[in-house]
Chains A and B, each alone.
Chain A
Amino acid sequence: MSIDDFYWLYDLPPHRMALLFVAAFVGFYWIGSILLRPILRQFVKYTAGANDIVGYVLSCFCVFYGLLLGLIAVTAYQNVADASANVTREAAALSALYEDVSRYPEPHGQNLRWLLRDYTRYIIKYAWPLQQKGIMPEEGTIRAAAVHDQLLEFQPRTPSEEIVHAEALRQLNHFLECRRMRLYSVGSSLPASMWFVMILGAILNIAICWLFDMRFITQLVLGGILAAYLGTMMFLIFDMNQPFRGDVSIKPDAFETLYARMNEG
C-alpha cells in the first residue's frame, strides 16, 4: 500500500475530507482506548506518579513531533507555491509570445496566434482536469511542438522582423522551460518516508495518551480532542501534498485570464 492508494480522497469536497481525517484519528484513538489501553496501562499501573511521567514524555514528544509537522507543512506549502509560480511564469511567457507573434506578417502571425490560443484552451479545458487527477497531460506537447514548428518556418525578411523573430524565439524557449517545470510539478509530492515518520509519530502520540490513568470518559474526551487536532494537521498536509489536487491547489486562473484577453480581438 502506498500513499497513491489514498488519492481518491482528493475527489472529496474539502470539508468532508477534513471530517474523514478527524473521524479516522478520533475513531482510532477511541477504539484503541477500549482495546489497547487496558494492555498498555499494565506497564505503568504500579508506578508512583505515572501520570506525571507520561505527561512529561508526551510534552517532549509533542515538541519534536510538532516541529516535524510544522516543517513538513511549510515544505508542502512551498511546493504548492513554487508550482503556482511556474504556472504564472508559463502564462506570462505565453502572453509575451502571443504579443510578439502578433507583429508577424500574415498568414504566419494568424497561424501562430491560432496555435497559441489552441494551446491555452487545451491547458484550461483538458490539461487541468487531468492534472487534478494527478495525470500528466500529453497532448499539450504536440500543441507546443506545433507552435515551435510554425515559428521556425517563418523567415524574416527585414531587420525589424529579425528582431521580433529573435525575441519570439527567446520567449518560446522561456515558455517551454516553464511548461516543463509545470509538468514536473504535476507528480511532485512529499516522499513516502516523510509520510511514514508522520503517521508513526501520530500513532505514538496517541499511544502515549492511552497510558494516562484517568476516568474513562475523560480519557475519551481529552484524547479525542488531541486526536482530532492531529487529524486536522494531517488533512492540511495531505491537502497540500499535490500542487494540482485538493482544495489547496493551483487553479488555471492565469491561463483563463490570458485566454479571455486573446479572444478580445
Chain B
Amino acid sequence: MNEPCPSLAPSPPPVSRRRALADGTAATLAAARLLAPALFTGCSLGLPPRARTVTVGMLHSQTGPLGISATGLRDIELHAFEEINASGGILGHRIETRAPDPRSRTDLFVRKARQLLDEGVACIFGCWTSASRKAVLPLIEEARKLLLYSVQYEGNESSKYVVYGGMVPNQQILPGLDWLLSPAGGEKKKIFLVGSDYVFPRTANYIAKKYLQGKSLTVVGEAYLPLGDRDFTATVQRILDSGADCVLNTVNGTSNLGLFTALAAAKVDPVKLPVFSTSIAEDELRSLVPEQVRGHYALSCYFQSLDTPANRRWIAGFRDEFGFDRVTDDPMEPDWCLVHLWKQAVEKAGSFETEAVRQAFRDGLSYAGPGGTVRLDPKTQHTTKFFRIGRIRGDRQFDIVHASEAPLDPDPYPQIAFPGWSVDWTTEGITRGPEVTIDGDV
C-alpha cells in the first residue's frame, strides 16, 4: 500500500489575513441574514412600543377643608381613565393625568389651572365650589380648552368652554319643592331656608322663593351663616319660632355638623320637621353623627344605595381598586359620566381639539351611567339628571323614597328667576335678559 508518509503530507495552507477577512465577512453576512427577521420584523430589539399619549388635567383640592370630599372626584377620574387605558385608550392614545393640588384655595386654583394649561393638557376636569369655577373660567376661555365640572351648582351661568355635569336648581331644588307640596311629601305649608353665606345658597334660595310665589308652601324665614360656622343654636331657635314644618338646607361643608347638632339639641323630630339638604351625600354623612341626621332627607341625582346591577358593578369596581370601605356619591357619579361623555365626544370628533369636541356635542351624546342614562344637552352643555330624594339611615346610607321617572332636562336660567335669559350653544349662545339682583326683593 502506498500510503503517504504523514510527515510528507501537504500541511494545510496558513490562513491569510485576506482569507480570514473574507471568511469573517461571509460569516457576518450569513449571521445578519439569519438574525434580520428577528431584529427587523419585531423592529424593536425588545423595546416596548411607544404609545401615543394625551394628558388630561385634574384640578381637585387634595388638601385643605375640601380635600377629603374632592379627593373622591380625583379617584373616580383616575379609575375611569385606568379603565379606558386598559381597553385601548382614546383614538389609540393612552390618557395620562396630571393632578396638582389647589389646596382648597381659590388663588391656587387659578395658579394650578394656568400651570395645567401651560403644560398643554387636552382639557381639565375639576373645581368644587362655584368660587373656584368662576375663578378659573377666564383662563379656560382664553386658552379655549374645556373645563368639565361635575358638582351641583346654582345655574345662572353658561360658558361655551364648560361642560356642567352636576345638577342645576330645576333638577334638584325645584322638583324637591314639588315633592314637598305633594301628598307623598306631606303637603307641607311652611318652609325655612337655611344656608351658608356664599353664591350657591343665595342663588338657589332666590330661585326657590321665586318658584314658591303663589304656591301653598310659604317661605317663613331665611338664614345664612358664614361658611365653616358651626354655631347654629340661634338659627335653630329661629326655625322653631317660625312655625316651619320643613327646612331647605343649603349649608355646605363642616357647618352641617353644627346645624344637625343644634337640631338634635333642640330635640327636633325629623318626622315633624324634616330637613331637606342639597349638599349632603354619603361622603359628608361620614362626618355627621348618625343619631342626629337619621330620618332627615337629601336631594340628589344619585345615591350609593341605588339597587341596580349597573350601580352594583360600578361600586364593586371602584372598591376593588380604591378600597373595600370607600363610598360613592353625587358628584362622583356625574363625574364618571362626564369622563365617558368626553371620551365619546373625542371619538366622534376624531380629535382632542376643543372645537372639534364641542362640535361632537351637537349629536346629543348619552351615556348609561351607574345612576341611569344621562344625555349631554348640546344647547346648554349641561347633562340631563334623574332626581332622587333619599332618607338618611343609621348606617350613613340613604333609603330612596322618591325618584323621577325620567331624567330631567337642565335649565341653567329658570324663567321664573331669570326672565329673558337663555342659552343655546348650537346657535347664538347666551341671550341676555334684564340683570337680576340675587339679594334683592323677591
Residues of A in contact with B (beta carbons under 8 Å apart)? 8, 11-13, 16, 20, 30, 34, 106-107, 110-111, 113-115, 117-118, 121, 125, 139, 142-143, 145-146, 149-150, 215-217, 220, 262-263, 265
Cross-chain contact of A12 among B24, B47, B321, B323 (Cβ < 8 A): B47
- Contact status B63-A217, CB under 8 Å: no
* Interface residue tally on B, bucketed by range: 20 to 34
B325 to A, closest residue via Cβ: A110
Q: Which of B64-72, B308-316, B364-372 contacts A (4 or more CB under 8 A)?
A: B64-72
- Contact status B15-A142, CB under 8 Å: no
Residue interface bits B189-214, CB-to-A below 8 A is 1, else 0: 00000000000000000000000000
- Contact status A142-B101, CB under 8 Å: yes
Residue interface bits B36-58, CB-to-A below 8 A is 1, else 0: 00000000011110000000000
B111 → A minimal CB distance (Å): 14
Closest 4 CB pairs of A and B: A107-B286, A142-B101, A13-B46, A16-B46
How many angstroms between the C-alpha atoms of A106 and B99 in the bound complex? 27
Chain A binding surface SS class: helix
Residues of the A chain whose Cβ atoms lie less than 8 Å from the Cβ of B21: 34
Residues of the B chain whose Cβ atoms lie less than 8 Å from the Cβ of A114: 68, 71, 322-323, 325-326
A118-B71 contact given A13-B46, A220-B20, CB 8 Å threshold = yes
- Contact status A265-B63, CB under 8 Å: no
B324 to A, closest residue via Cβ: A265
Residues of the B chain whose Cβ atoms lie less than 8 Å from the Cβ of A216: 15, 17, 20
- Contact status A16-B45, CB under 8 Å: yes
Q: A11-B48, A106-B286 are in contact. List 19 more A-B contacts (CB 8 A).
A: A8-B47, A13-B46, A30-B24, A107-B287, A110-B325, A111-B68, A111-B286, A117-B323, A118-B71, A118-B75, A121-B321, A125-B82, A142-B100, A145-B101, A146-B101, A215-B15, A217-B20, A220-B24, A265-B324
B residues 117-136 with Cβ under 8 Å of A?
none
Cross-chain contact of A149 among B17, B20, B45, B63 (Cβ < 8 A): B63
How many angstroms between the C-alpha atoms of A125 and B287 in the bound complex? 29
How many angstroms between the C-alpha atoms of A142 and B59 in the bound complex? 13
Residues of B in contact with A (beta carbons under 8 Å apart)? 14-15, 17, 20-21, 24, 45-48, 62-64, 67-68, 71, 75, 82, 99-101, 286-287, 321-326
How many angstroms between the C-alpha atoms of A114 and B24 in the bound complex? 65
How many angstroms between the C-alpha atoms of A156 and B287 in the bound complex? 16
- Contact status B45-A12, CB under 8 Å: yes
- Return 26 A-B CB contacts under 8 Å, by A number: A12-B45, A12-B47, A13-B46, A16-B45, A16-B46, A107-B286, A113-B325, A114-B68, A114-B323, A114-B325, A117-B322, A117-B323, A118-B75, A121-B322, A139-B99, A142-B63, A142-B99, A142-B100, A149-B64, A150-B67, A215-B15, A216-B15, A216-B20, A217-B15, A220-B20, A263-B324
- Contact status A11-B47, CB under 8 Å: yes
How many angstroms between the C-alpha atoms of A118 and B322 in the bound complex? 7
How many angstroms between the C-alpha atoms of A118 and B318 in the bound complex? 12
How many angstroms between the C-alpha atoms of A111 and B15 in the bound complex? 79
